[in-house]
Amino acid sequence: MTETTTAVDAPAGSKHATVFRAVAIAEAISWTGLLIGMLFKYVLSDNEIGVKIFGPVHGTIFIAYVITVLAVRKQLRWTVPVTLAALAASIPPLFTWFFELWAQRTNRLS
């Protein structure tokens, strides 16, 4: 008989870590889309469609990221400096992804 892991056996922070990971990566992807849209608008052509699409998408996901960080910090036992680093990571492009990788590597998502 083999042993399987169920959701009940999973670590307490795993659900929160999964939600955080998904939102952090989505925020980085939306930043990328917005940057590409800005490239087309300001450098390659005068086409605003990318900014019109990815601007509101990124704004919404940015707000979701900040709310997610504040919602999961206690469950993931983040200290104030880690929480502030997670929040600061939302400002430069793609840093939420880098923060997520760092948090995973340093066991702050378990």
**Residue of 5 and 94 predicted with greater confidence:** 94
**Mean pLDDT for the chain overall:** 89
pLDDT of residue 45: 87
pLDDT of residue 34: 94
Whether the pLDDT of residue 76 is over 90: the answer is yes
* Torsion of the alpha carbons at 59, 65, 71 and 75, rounded to the nearest 10: 180
Average pLDDT over residues 74-100: 96
SS (HEC) of the chain: CCCCCCCCCCCCCHHHHHHHHHHHHHHHHHHHHHHHHHHHHHHHCCCCHHHHHHHHHHHHHHHHHHHHHHHHCCCCCCCHHHHHHHHHCCCCCCHHHHHHHHHHHCCCCC
Q: Considering the entire predicted model, what is its pTM? A: 0.83
pLDDT tens readout for residues 18-58: 999 999 999 999 999 999 999 998 999 888 888 999 999 99
